[in-house]
């Protein structure tokens, strides 16, 4: 099922549908837009017909200088059976040749009063958001001191209970149980909650609670960039856990690698505080202060007999 159809653009940007109404439900498969200046001039060898076509003042001014036969030919070539739609910006009058060609191929022709550059930007942002690669992960997403922390682990390990304690400590819940993730950029993952469970937490023995109702609007947010993944696992006696923090593990989500920490769970450990400190330490590393590297440098200097620098 298509994520975005031409009708979505008409409704979102309040576009005027001029012709080609039969194609209003055509799918849009790419966030790339095309300004077909070369095509209006007659060069169709590399025409990206699968994109939304945006005609501004430059294209329309040149089109008006063409002969009648050229105008008809260019518009017929512009309207293909795979062209999702054509948008005229700045409220320009739609050429009769375009209306006739669009009706023949059922290509929706729309008009906007916005300037071309601004409309191009708005359309690109909207389509990139809607058409971004997506996935869903079993876990909890929390905004901790501005860091998007996704808590993962097997069912029953204590993810939701830890999230509840973090919310009580003033941090904000984005999603519990299921995190919908979209890759908006090459290295940007944004997570949000499915609409059905937005603002809800499931606590075993207590049931479903509404975090926004209990703790206020400041305890939730709709989405957040994922910067850190913390995996909770039951403590294994014979397993070696990282005690210094020099080695940085990564986990790949869609096409993006995210820093991952593994935190063992056993009675007596305050997971909320540990995760809170992990988020603060992550921020500190991004600011250029790495306590593990400083400690390692001090240790090496001590061993070599050269003394060491203070923190």
The answer to whether 288 is annotated as binding is no
Out of 26, 74, 111, 159, the active site residue is 159
* Encoded tokens for 73: 């030919």
Query: Measured between alpha carbons, how far is residue 255 from residues 2, 179, 193 in Å?
Result: 22, 17, 20
Verify whether residue 177 is a known catalytic residue.
yes
- Quick check: 257 and 251 in contact, CB under 8 A? yes
* Separation CA 83–CA 53 (nearest Å): 8
The answer to whether 23 is annotated as binding is no
Q: Which residues contact 49 (CB under 8 A, 6 or more apart)?
A: 80, 82, 83
Strand pairing of 16-19 and 140-144? unpaired
Out of 237, 243, 252, 266, the active site residue is 243
Sign of torsion, CA 279 283 285 290?
negative
* Separation CA 222–CA 191 (nearest Å): 9
* Separation CA 244–CA 246 (nearest Å): 6
Strand pairing of 109-111 and 16-19? antiparallel
The answer to whether 184 is annotated as binding is no
* Separation CA 298–CA 304 (nearest Å): 10
* Separation CA 157–CA 161 (nearest Å): 9
Q: Where do the DSSP E strands lie in the chain?
A: 16-19, 33-34, 52-55, 86-88, 109-111, 134-138, 140-144, 147-153, 172-175, 178-185, 188-192, 200-203, 207-210, 223-225, 228-234, 249-253, 256-265
Out of 115, 118, 138, 286, the active site residue is 138
Verify whether residue 35 is a known catalytic residue.
no
The answer to whether 159 is annotated as binding is yes
The answer to whether 157 is annotated as binding is yes
Out of 80, 122, 177, 225, the active site residue is 177
The answer to whether 205 is annotated as binding is no
The answer to whether 239 is annotated as binding is no
Bind-site residues for ATP: 153-160
Bind-site residues: 153-160, 202
Bind-site residues for Mg(2+): 160, 202
Active site members: 138, 159, 177, 243
């Amino acid at each position: 099922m298509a994520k975005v159809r031409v009708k979505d653009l008409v409704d979102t940007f309040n576009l005027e549908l001029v012709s080609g109404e039969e194609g209003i439900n055509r799918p849009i498969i790419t966030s790339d837009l095309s300004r077909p200046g070369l095509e209006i001039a007659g060069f169709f060898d590399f025409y990206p017909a699968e994109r939304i076509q945006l005609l501004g003042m430059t294209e329309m001014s040149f089109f008006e200088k063409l002969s009648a036969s050229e105008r008809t030919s260019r518009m017929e070539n512009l309207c293909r059976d795979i062209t999702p739609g054509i948008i005229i910006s700045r409220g320009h009058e739609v050429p009769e040749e375009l209306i006739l060609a669009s009706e023949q191929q059922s290509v929706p022709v729309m008009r906007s009063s916005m300037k071309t550059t601004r409309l191009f930007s708005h359309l690109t942002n909207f389509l990139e958001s809607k058409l971004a690669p997506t996935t869903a992960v079993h876990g909890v997403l929390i905004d901790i001191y501005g860091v998007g922390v996704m808590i993962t682990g097997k069912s029953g390990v204590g993810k939701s209970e830890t999230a509840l304690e973090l919310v009580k400590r003033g941090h904000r819940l984005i999603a519990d149980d299921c995190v919908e993730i979209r890759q908006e950029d090459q290295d940007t993952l944004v997570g949000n909650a499915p609409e059905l469970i937005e603002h809800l937490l499931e606590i075993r023995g207590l049931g479903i609670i509404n975090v926004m109702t209990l703790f206020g609007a400041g305890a939730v947010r709709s989405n957040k960039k994922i910067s850190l993944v913390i995996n909770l696992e039951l403590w294994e006696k014979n397993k070696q856990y990282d005690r210094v923090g020099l080695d940085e593990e990564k986990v790949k989500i869609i096409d993006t690698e995210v820093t991952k920490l593994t935190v063992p769970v056993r009675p007596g450990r305050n997971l909320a505080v540990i995760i809170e400190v992990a988020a603060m330490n992550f921020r500190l590393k991004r600011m250029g202060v790495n306590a593990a590297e400083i400690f390692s440098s001090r240790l090496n200097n001590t061993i070599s007999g050269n003394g060491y620098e203070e923190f």
